[in-house]
């Protein structure tokens, strides 16, 4: 099958690894190795974080190992239906207290920077990453033995681009095949002055 490509209509030139990135739900059936997944995590490892506290914690499972199935069981049914065909799954969490034991309000920002590195490194290697908020964080917290100073955030499905959209539930195929990506314009969310709520205009 021909690999799906997306049109990204940028107003300013950006690097190809960002421009060509998208979030597939259908993945090629070529396995991912532990070393390939750890290479992505290595990219995340070097993300910046407030006072270098590195609050991110990641559980990873490779398709075929028990951890993959345990992560899958924590997803909502909608996501289980397609994520079961990924070649690896991640569960992301963050430390909610800082080095002084106080509430760490930058932790989710830092986790986001970590995952930003991961998805760009993944795209550079021809690996798609689809991040999911649709999971049961309480179940995942218990399932993987997190302590109270950690919160579960998201799950991530990983696999090589080039999957067959026909493997997806019918209602998801159109999204997978949509050629043009869309985003708000820069001037809608970035202001050289006071905030304006242009998104709702």
3-state per-residue secondary structure call for 93-115: EEECECCCCCECCCHHHHHHHHH
Stretch 15-23: mean pLDDT, rounded? Answer: 92
CATH number of 17-163: 3.40.109.10
The rounded mean pLDDT for the chain is 94
Supply the angle between the helices 107-124 and 34-45 in degrees, to the nearest 10: 130
For the segment 140-179, what is each residue's pLDDT rounded down to a tens digit? 999 999 999 999 999 999 999 999 999 998 889 988 998 8
Output the pLDDT for position 201: 54
Output the pLDDT for position 4: 78
For the segment 55-107, what is each residue's pLDDT rounded down to a tens digit? 999 999 999 999 999 999 999 999 999 999 999 999 999 999 999 999 999 99
Stretch 113-141: mean pLDDT, rounded? Answer: 98
* Domain residue ranges of the chain, discontinuous segments joined by +: 17-163
To which residue do tokens 């090589």 refer? 160
Q: What pTM, to 2 d.p., does this model score?
A: 0.93
Output the pLDDT for position 1: 52
Q: What CA–CA distance (Å, rounded) separates 97 from 81?
A: 35
pLDDT > 90: percent of the chain: 86
Q: What CA–CA distance (Å, rounded) separates 122 from 90?
A: 13
């Amino acid at each position: 099958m021909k690999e799906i490509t997306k049109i990204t209509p940028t107003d300013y030139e950006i690097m190809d690894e960002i421009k060509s990135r998208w979030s597939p739900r259908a993945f090629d059936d070529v396995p991912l190795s532990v070393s390939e997944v750890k290479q992505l995590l290595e990219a995340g490892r070097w993300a910046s974080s407030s006072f270098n506290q590195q609050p991110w914690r990641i559980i990873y499972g490779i398709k075929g190992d028990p951890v993959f199935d345990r992560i899958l069981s924590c997803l909502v049914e909608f996501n289980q239906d397609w994520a079961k065909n990924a070649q690896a799954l991640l569960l992301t969490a963050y430390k909610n207290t800082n080095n002084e034991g106080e509430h760490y309000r930058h932790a989710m920002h830092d986790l986001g920077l970590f995952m930003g590195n991961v998805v760009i490194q993944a795209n550079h290697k021809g690996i798609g990453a689809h991040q999911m908020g649709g999971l049961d964080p309480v179940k995942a917290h218990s399932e993987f033995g997190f302590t109270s100073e950690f919160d579960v955030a998201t799950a991530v499905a990983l696999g090589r681009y080039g999957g067959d959209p026909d493997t997806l539930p019918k209602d998801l195929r159109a999204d997978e095949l949509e050629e043009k990506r869309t985003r708000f314009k820069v001037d809608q969310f970035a202001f050289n002055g006071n905030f304006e709520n242009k998104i709702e205009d």
